[in-house]
Chain A
Amino acid sequence: MQRRELLRGLAALGLLGSWPMGALGAGNAGGAVSVDELPALEGELTLYLGRGEGGLYEDVIEAIRKRNPKLTLNVRRGPTVALANTLVAEAEAGVQQADLFWAVDSGSLGLVSEAGLAKPLRETARAGLREGFRYEDWAPVSGRVRTLPYNTDRLDPGQIPDSIMALPETDLSVGWAPAYGSFQSFVTAMRLLEGDKATRDWLRGMKDRARQYAGELGVVMGVSRGEVDIGLANHYYTLRLKAGQPDAPLELAFTRNDAGSLLNASGVMALRDTDLAHNFIRYLLTQEVQSYLASEAYEIPMVEGVALPEALPAAAGDNPPSIELTRLADVRPTLKLMREAGVL
């Protein structure tokens, strides 16, 4: 029921006091704009939304709909890569259905951008974004940080190295999901930061101590069940599992300034250069939406001055490596490395 109350809160807006994170964010509203300052949205918009995030993005969309009764918003949800492929196919056939593409991984945005379908981001939207995340033709909406979830019954935080490259030298058993997109982005980041050879050695070193899972939720469940000591996963799976089972023997650890603490982001791009599409992007970057995604989806705000999710340890997102996120779309050399190392 909590979810519905939040929805009402978001719709009523201005009622920032009823927001769990509102007070935190409002204090130092550096870049974040409030919804009240934005023009009303009017007309018809079609949004392709890569993955649904359990209706949490949908809550945001619903709130924007309620606040803008003259807006007709059509949403198509699907796997991110499949939607990116669809956009490219549509463009080849000379059909355009979508005004906006909101994707959970920056690689898909890179694919669409490379096909020349993205319109440049306007300065009004770009200005408020975190330093280092202001891109030409897309705006990051919410971030996920790479983490090391570990089992507190089996492990002491002191046993965990603070460099991801040192992990193969430990005697920890590790859960990972090599087929999962976020993992491949992480290896791509390692490849870009440390080079091919170091990455291949790392993969080979890890291979013997790693247990494979299908996805990173599986990794986190495996860690909490004690099947492995430690896992490699996006941060929010752990926070969500803990929200359902607060007693689970599960905590998060972070590495410093390397691929192991990569901050990747979902993002949105305009496919039609209209005021309406650009203003919709600005809605996603408001104080209200950003703090909602932080508090409810445990995602990391990408706008300056919005607080991190409450359950996330303060160390998170402190030392992300510096990397242009759309470069992470270059996965194919990564797959080749992973195959050579025999982990895929």
Chain B
Amino acid sequence: MRQWPLSPILAAPVALVALLPLLVLLDLGADAESLWDPQWLSVFGQSIALTGLTVLGALLIGVPLAVLTAYVKLPAQRLWLVLLSAPLAMPSYIGAFTFYAAFGPGGEVEQLLGLPTPDMRGLLGAAVVMTLYTFPFVLLTTRASLRSLDASVLDAARTLGLSLPGALWRAVLPRVRRGIAAGALLVALYTLSDFGTPAIMGVDTFTRVIFVEYNAFGLSQAAMLSLHLLAIVGLILFMESRLGTEREHPGRTLVLHPGRWTLGLGIAIVLVVFSLAVGLPMGLFGVWLARDGMSGFDPTVAMNSAMAALLAALGAVLLALPVAFAALTGRFGRIMERVTYLGFGVPGIVMGTALVYLGLQVTVLYQTLFLLVMAYILRFLPLAVGAVRSTAARLDAHLVQSARLLGASRFEAFRRVSLPLTVRGMAAGAALVFLEAMRELPATLLLRPTGFETLATQLWQVYEAGYFGRAAVPGLLLVLISGIGLVLMLSGERGRNYA
């Protein structure tokens, strides 16, 4: 006798709530003047090109670095992971702007060091910047999957004569393709829905069309166009879901001891990536700070950011659990899981406005911290779902069945078998949501309690007004707090090496 699985039942309301903002968009978009303009086709092409290049870049950087941080014994192990994840805390428009200001003829690098540098504009410049601010998606999801792999297969491959890179390529990476794909998916959706970076780099993407419409008081047109964008999102979601995965037995985590040169190279790459993504903006803010002079800063702003992001991280992981497990139970569960991703592909300002309409349905909650946290959860649920699912997918169903056979209740089997084995995915998911919530802007501006300032809103304010020096302190705190949050969440992994 088969018991009806519990997770789809719990997942259904979550998926339903995730769908609500899209229904609001449908309602808003109903008044749109034009459904389609042939001119948008080339813009669509630009969006897809930028997304493709960014995903490629994120894979090229993210996967090797995931191997490095997952398997190689490094001094100050956790520090490297934190450095590499920090770019996720930086709003990408800040990165894009500093790249634009730093490079090219007459840029800050040339002014300060006298070194001529190439212009960072156009599709390639945008792809480089987007890569730097999204590759940690790939890094974190891939690493979480790598850490839950059993090392013995690699050892076997090595014994059979494969070189280490060969063994990694043929015996390890195929087994974590689900984790890699989960990260790539997030990169793709983030890139598709981002406005700031392509705008600053002068790439004419679909989000720019949406933004122009929104700012020209064409809310319904902007909503309609966002739904068009969801067509690409749907296609990407479908492609990603075609990737299957094999179940894995949990086992000893691999430890690699590379030679001194390889190790040095790895660390050098980490440092270069970090200094480009985080060091460069921080350095430039410092220069501008020296130029413009200091101004006051209120520390409660940092507290607000950390608190809201932490609540969002916890809430998102909690809601992601049933969705991720439901995705493994069958077609219905998979559809529900895919549904939670859709909102991540909608440009923030449009999504924020849709959430205003949604929040106004429950007026008691409107403009409360609770609603803000709910908005973060809705927006970033896919980050948690993807991370949890990719580790849960490799869970051996027999383990749970054995536990049940041995008399454990359904809940006990979940608590003592499934949960501990997915805790890495949960930690990675929580970290992702935490970082994204720290940098989230449009929904924060619209939904926060009146007067509730965060680091991201402060950064936005000074950036909008052109007072870049004042971005130094909030920018630095954003990176610092994200680092601390990351250390706390990733320490959930500690002592859980099931040998």
CB distance from A249 to the nearest CB of B (A): 10
Q: Is the CB of B218 within 8 A of A93?
A: no
**Cα of A344 to Cα of B215 in the assembled complex, Å:** 13
Q: Is the CB of B450 within 8 A of A46?
A: yes
Q: Is the CB of A1 within 8 A of B212?
A: no
Interface residues on A, range: 35 or more
Which of B103-111, B147-155, B176-184, B388-396 forms contacts with chain A?
A: B103-111
Partner of B353, one of A55, A82, A237: A82
**Cα of A192 to Cα of B205 in the assembled complex, Å:** 30
In the assembled complex, B451 has its CB within 8 A of some CB on chain A: yes
In the assembled complex, B424 has its CB within 8 A of some CB on chain A: no
In the assembled complex, A274 has its CB within 8 A of some CB on chain B: no
Q: Known: A46-B450, A89-B360. Is A332-B216 also a contact (CB below 8 A)?
A: yes
Which of B237-245, B457-465, B483-491 forms contacts with chain A?
A: B457-465
Q: Known: A78-B445, A179-B199. Is A2-B450 also a contact (CB below 8 A)?
A: no
**Cα of A270 to Cα of B154 in the assembled complex, Å:** 70
**Cα of A207 to Cα of B328 in the assembled complex, Å:** 54
Q: Known: A82-B446, A214-B200. Is A225-B104 also a contact (CB below 8 A)?
A: yes
Partner of B199, one of A55, A214, A237: A214
Partner of A227, one of B106, B360, B465: B106
In the assembled complex, B125 has its CB within 8 A of some CB on chain A: no
Q: A residues within 8 A CB of B37?
A: 339
In the assembled complex, B367 has its CB within 8 A of some CB on chain A: yes
User: B296 — nearest CB in chain A belongs to which residue?
Assistant: A4
Contact residues of B between 81 and 116, Cβ < 8 Å to A: 100-101, 104-107
CB distance from B331 to the nearest CB of A (A): 37
Q: Is the CB of B202 within 8 A of A81?
A: no
Q: Is the CB of B363 within 8 A of A54?
A: no
**Cα of A331 to Cα of B217 in the assembled complex, Å:** 8
**Cα of A74 to Cα of B450 in the assembled complex, Å:** 6
Most buried by B among A2, A81, A95: A81
Q: Is the CB of B470 within 8 A of A54?
A: yes
Partner of A240, one of B104, B106, B466: B466
Q: B residues within 8 A CB of A93?
A: 357, 360-361, 363
CB distance from A309 to the nearest CB of B (A): 15
Q: Known: A89-B360, A339-B39. Is A111-B106 also a contact (CB below 8 A)?
A: no
Contact residues of B between 446 and 479, Cβ < 8 Å to A: 446, 448, 450-451, 457, 460-462, 464-467, 470
Q: B residues within 8 A CB of A227?
A: 105-106
CB distance from A58 to the nearest CB of B (A): 8
In the assembled complex, B291 has its CB within 8 A of some CB on chain A: yes
User: A225 — nearest CB in chain B belongs to which residue?
Assistant: B106
Q: Is the CB of A86 within 8 A of B466?
A: no
In the assembled complex, A53 has its CB within 8 A of some CB on chain B: yes
Q: Is the CB of A97 within 8 A of B212?
A: no
Q: Is the CB of A79 within 8 A of B349?
A: yes
In the assembled complex, B214 has its CB within 8 A of some CB on chain A: yes
Contact residues of A between 39 and 83, Cβ < 8 Å to B: 46, 51-56, 74-79, 81-83
Q: A residues within 8 A CB of B450?
A: 46, 74-76, 97
CB distance from A315 to the nearest CB of B (A): 23
Q: A residues within 8 A CB of B341?
A: none
**Cα of A78 to Cα of B452 in the assembled complex, Å:** 12
Q: B residues within 8 A CB of A111?
A: 217
**Cα of A339 to Cα of B204 in the assembled complex, Å:** 13
Q: Is the CB of B217 within 8 A of A332?
A: yes
In the assembled complex, B234 has its CB within 8 A of some CB on chain A: no
Q: Is the CB of A55 within 8 A of B295?
A: yes
In the assembled complex, A226 has its CB within 8 A of some CB on chain B: yes
**Cα of A240 to Cα of B466 in the assembled complex, Å:** 8
In the assembled complex, B352 has its CB within 8 A of some CB on chain A: yes
In the assembled complex, B211 has its CB within 8 A of some CB on chain A: yes
Q: Is the CB of A82 within 8 A of B291?
A: no
In the assembled complex, B219 has its CB within 8 A of some CB on chain A: yes
In the assembled complex, B118 has its CB within 8 A of some CB on chain A: no
**Cα of A83 to Cα of B447 in the assembled complex, Å:** 11
Q: Is the CB of B295 within 8 A of A245?
A: no
Q: Is the CB of A55 within 8 A of B461?
A: yes
Q: A residues within 8 A CB of B201?
A: 214
Q: B residues within 8 A CB of A79?
A: 215, 349, 442, 445
Q: Is the CB of B461 within 8 A of A212?
A: no
User: A329 — nearest CB in chain B belongs to which residue?
Assistant: B217
**Cα of A108 to Cα of B214 in the assembled complex, Å:** 11
Question: What mask results when residues 224 to 252 of chain A are scored 1 for a CB within 8 Å of chain B, else 0?
Answer: 11110000000001001100110000000
In the assembled complex, A181 has its CB within 8 A of some CB on chain B: yes
Q: A residues within 8 A CB of B291?
A: 244-245
Q: Is the CB of A1 within 8 A of B293?
A: yes
Contact residues of B between 358 and 374, Cβ < 8 Å to A: 360-361, 363, 366-367
Q: B residues within 8 A CB of A322?
A: none
Q: Is the CB of A52 within 8 A of B293?
A: no
The 6 A-B pairs of least Cβ separation, nearest first, read: A54-B465, A225-B106, A52-B461, A93-B360, A54-B467, A78-B445
Chain B interface residues toward A at CB < 8 A: 37, 39, 100-101, 104-107, 199-202, 208, 211-219, 288, 291-296, 349, 352-353, 356-357, 360-361, 363, 366-367, 442, 445-446, 448, 450-451, 457, 460-462, 464-467, 470
20 extra interchain contacts, Cβ-Cβ under 8 A, other than A46-B450, A244-B292? A2-B293, A51-B464, A53-B465, A74-B450, A74-B451, A79-B215, A86-B356, A86-B446, A89-B360, A90-B356, A95-B366, A97-B367, A107-B217, A108-B217, A179-B199, A212-B202, A213-B202, A225-B105, A244-B288, A244-B291
Selected A-B contacts with CB under 8 Å, 25 pairs:
A54-B461, A54-B465, A54-B467, A75-B451, A79-B215, A79-B349, A79-B442, A86-B353, A93-B363, A97-B366, A97-B450, A179-B208, A179-B211, A179-B212, A212-B202, A217-B466, A225-B106, A225-B107, A226-B106, A237-B466, A244-B288, A244-B292, A334-B216, A335-B216, A339-B37
